[in-house]
Amino acid sequence: MASKKQETKTTRNTVTSTDMIIIKDVKTNPRTEGTWGHFSFSLIKNGMKVSKFIELGGRTKDLRWDISKGHCHLEQAKSKSK
């Protein structure tokens, strides 16, 4: 049971940087139509920053849930070097 708590804590800490990029791992919206979760997931476009997702009305708690279920994941934004 301790491992589940650790997994949840890790997932929650994942959505701390609004500069991270969201990558979808599923092709269709897995959330129940008509729910906030469905709305939030429908906002996600591959390569979108977390900050843009929030700006459009997405909720971080929905994003954390989708990450924990394997519907999407976050990656560090690639830095632009000159």
pLDDT value of position 8: 39
Query: Cβ neighbours of residue 39 under 8 Å, at least 6 residues apart?
Result: 57
pLDDT value of position 4: 44
Tell which wins on pLDDT, 5 or 58. Answer: 58
What tokens were used for 34? 């008509």
Which alpha helices (H) appear in 1-82, and where do they start and end? 2-14, 36-43, 50-55, 60-68
pLDDT value of position 55: 96
Ordered by start, the domain boundaries in the chain are: 17-75
pLDDT value of position 2: 47
> Is residue 7 within 8 Å of 38, Cβ to Cβ?
no
User: Above 60 in pLDDT, residue 1?
Assistant: no
